[in-house]
Amino acid sequence: GAVVSQHPSRVICKSGTSVKIECRSLDFQATTMFWYRQFPKQSLMLMATSNEGSKATYEQGVEKDKFLINHASLTLSTLTVTSAHPEDSSFYICSARGMGYSNQPQHFGDGTRLSIL
């Protein structure tokens, strides 16, 4: 149980393109999903917290107009990197927490490697 699917796993596109990444909880409902970014050989850094039916909460320094997050249902959150540039190239990972709070761990997707040419 507790499977999180992330799609696509890899994207290569030209500078200026907008890229959408999907994060789905397959066998549980997730009121809260999280989007992380990981640079090579570095740790995961939280970008934003996505709550179903409300606006995402962005971490300091993350451009909300650049990284659009939509959490339209209890099983789907999307991250759109708008007008992507080479510096946006990174590994993006989502996670989802099941309903309830304190004792629910985050389950991670397989990540998306984004390469902007």
Site for other proteins, rule CB under 8 A: 32, 34, 38, 42-46, 49, 59, 91, 93, 95, 97, 101-103, 105-111, 113
> Considering beta carbons, is residue 8 or 16 the nearer one to other proteins?
8
Dihedral sign computed on CA atoms, order 72, 73, 79, 80 = negative
What is the smallest separation between the CB atom of 95 and other proteins, expressed in angstroms?
7
What is the smallest separation between the CB atom of 38 and other proteins, expressed in angstroms?
8
DSSP state of 83: T
Is the CB of residue 86 less than 8 Å from the CB of residue 116? yes
Under 8 Å CB-to-CB from 57, ≥6 apart: which residues?
Answer: 48, 49, 51
> Considering beta carbons, is residue 18 or 42 the nearer one to other proteins?
42
> Considering beta carbons, is residue 3 or 16 the nearer one to other proteins?
3
What is the smallest separation between the CB atom of 80 and other proteins, expressed in angstroms?
21
What is the smallest separation between the CB atom of 52 and other proteins, expressed in angstroms?
14
